[in-house]
Amino acid sequence: MAKGKEKSVFFCQECGYESAKWLGKCPGCGQWNTFVEELVTKQSGDVARLMPSSEPMTLQEIYYDDVLRIDTGIHELNRVLGGGMVPGALMLLAGDPGIGKSTLTMQLTGSIHMQEKILYVSGEESRQQLKMRAQRLGIGTEQLYILTENNLSVIEKHIDKIKPGLLILDSIQTVYLPEITSAPGSVSQLRECTGKLLQWAKGLGLSVIVVGHVTKDGAVAGPRVLEHMVDTVLFFEGERHNHFRILRALKNRFGSTNEIGVFEMQEQGLREVHNPSEVFLSERPQDTVGSVVVPCMEGTRPVLVELQALVASSPYGQPRRMTNGADYNRTAMLLAVLEKKMRLPIGNHDIFLNVVGGLKVDEPAIDLGIIAALVSSMQNRPILKDAVVLGEVGLTGEVRTINFLDKRLIEAEKMGFRVAVVPAGNLKQGQKFPIEVKGVRNVGEALRVLLGGA
């Protein structure tokens, strides 16, 4: 290999900003102390110009066929991808170590509906380990080729030979290009390697799934440029102590980013969970204070989630507030509404709010549910039996309309709920609903219906 002139360049580990000298604060993303030095031989930074050059065309001339999606054989994954895998797509699968990324990609090789070969490259595990996992998952596909290799140039040679339709690379942080002197996982390696993958994806029409590790604060390790370069960023998450895993798209050039896929990690690998409501409500205690069920929308799918609140008088001057799965600031606003509009002295209480099952809900339709759970716990009164609660709450304590009421109520009925407390504004005369609905205009009315009295 002819050695070019080496020079030292500093990269921001957060956003990939390049600088000739070390900087305390990154001008690109504003973060402090994120610059690291790397030796660069090749002039990097041209990866954005990787699209094959083409002539300008009118929209009418461009041929596009939506049926051209590959069925991955995993329903929940298809949904998150927007209806299947697009050939020639570069997808990043990110998540904490041990969450099940390798399991998911290995399972995919056994279920995907494609004629072409699949090349599974691991830079982390030995062939024996991979074989063991494949056996455990019951995968015996003949079209699957396993390669343990870290050098991307060598991987390229094998791609030329095998000509796979799908490449799985586990993980981007463990591969390198020999012409770049910095270590695997460094900004310039990540950038150039991803550029190479992009070239293969777009040039050869090869679908690529690349696994990426995340840093301790949950960002995809390596610079943001990695996220910019790929077509799809999938995030696999879950809590270590429970078996449920949620797959979501943080970015998707071929579909929406609202859909989630739910899985359960079992002895024989990941099992798809087709009815998440059942799972999230499975351990719900009956008639307990502080527990409310809200039908939330996760993309196009309604999912019933249980909200739990614990409100206890605070022994210290500085009450503690903790939310898990619900937005902290939104909850603070709802507390202020309770304090000011309902004259509830809730401000001097410790408050713990939890969305059960590790789900994160960020839609405003959950507001009234949060309020109901908080007041129920504070006043030690259980919520109306077999009821679900829905509604956005405004600053004056009014209950505002929400979308997809029908879908949510159908799901509630399916799960055995009999009554729903909903915004009055959502109800039109003569309209029929699957379960009994009680329309409320403001928080006071809602609490009277849900808790009786108040």
Q: By the criterion CB under 5 A, which residues form the site for Mg ion?
A: 102
Phi, psi of 418 (to 5 degrees): -115, -15
**Smallest gap from residue 123 Cβ to Mg ion (A):** 10
Which of Mg ion, ligand TYD, none interacts with 34 (beta carbon under 5 to 8 A by kind)? none
Which of Mg ion, ligand TYD, none interacts with 196 (beta carbon under 5 to 8 A by kind)? none
**Smallest gap from residue 206 Cβ to Mg ion (A):** 21
Q: Which is nearer to ligand TYD, 212 or 325 (CB)?
A: 212
**Smallest gap from residue 237 Cβ to ligand TYD (A):** 11
Q: Which is nearer to ligand TYD, 106 or 292 (CB)?
A: 106
**Smallest gap from residue 330 Cβ to ligand TYD (A):** 31
Query: Which tokens is 212 given?
Result: 């990426």
Question: What are the C-alpha distances in Å from 447 to residues 292, 338, 379, 418?
Answer: 12, 11, 11, 18
Q: Which is nearer to ligand TYD, 241 or 432 (CB)?
A: 241
Question: What are the C-alpha distances in Å from 299 to residues 161, 256, 324?
Answer: 41, 8, 20
Q: Which is nearer to ligand TYD, 95 or 165 (CB)?
A: 95
**Smallest gap from residue 421 Cβ to ligand TYD (A):** 40
Strands 321-324 and 90-95: unpaired
**Smallest gap from residue 234 Cβ to Mg ion (A):** 14
**Smallest gap from residue 122 Cβ to ligand TYD (A):** 10
Residue with tokens 């502080």: 290
Q: Which is nearer to ligand TYD, 268 or 300 (CB)?
A: 268
Task: Give the whole-angstrom CA distance, residue 431 versus residue 408.
Answer: 15
DSSP string, 74-132: -HHHHHHHTSSBPTT-EEEEEE-TTSSHHHHHHHHHHH---SS-EEEEESSS-HHHHHH
Please confirm whether the linkage preceding 153 is cis (ω < 30° from 0): no
Task: Give the whole-angstrom CA distance, residue 448 versus residue 441.
Answer: 12
Start-to-end C-alpha separation, the chain: 79
Q: Which is nearer to Mg ion, 102 or 291 (CB)?
A: 102
Q: Where are the beta strands (DSSP E) in 196-348?
A: 207-213, 232-238, 244-252, 260-266, 269-272, 291-298, 301-313, 321-324
CB of 262 within 8 A of CB of 276? yes
Per the DSSP assignment, residues forming a β-bridge with 246 are 237, 262
**Smallest gap from residue 354 Cβ to ligand TYD (A):** 25
Chain position whose Cβ is nearest to Mg ion: 102
Q: How far is CA 347 from the centre of its chain?
A: 33
Which of ligand TYD, Mg ion, none interacts with 269 (beta carbon under 5 to 8 A by kind)? ligand TYD
Which of ligand TYD, Mg ion, none interacts with 207 (beta carbon under 5 to 8 A by kind)? none
User: What's the CA dihedral at 118, 123, 129, 132 to 10 degrees?
Assistant: -20
Q: Where are the beta strands (DSSP E) in 239-316?
A: 244-252, 260-266, 269-272, 291-298, 301-313
Which of ligand TYD, Mg ion, none interacts with 265 (beta carbon under 5 to 8 A by kind)? ligand TYD
Q: Which is nearer to Mg ion, 94 or 180 (CB)?
A: 94
Helix (H, G, I), strand (E, B) or coil at 414: helix
**Smallest gap from residue 125 Cβ to ligand TYD (A):** 8
**Smallest gap from residue 71 Cβ to Mg ion (A):** 24
Which of ligand TYD, Mg ion, none interacts with 253 (beta carbon under 5 to 8 A by kind)? none
Q: Which is nearer to ligand TYD, 86 or 270 (CB)?
A: 270
Q: Which residues bind ligand TYD (CB under 6 A)?
A: 95, 97-103, 133, 136-137, 265, 267-269
CB half-sphere exposure, 14, CA atoms < 13 A: 13
Which of Mg ion, ligand TYD, none interacts with 268 (beta carbon under 5 to 8 A by kind)? ligand TYD
Q: Which is nearer to ligand TYD, 99 or 209 (CB)?
A: 99
Q: Which is nearer to ligand TYD, 97 or 416 (CB)?
A: 97
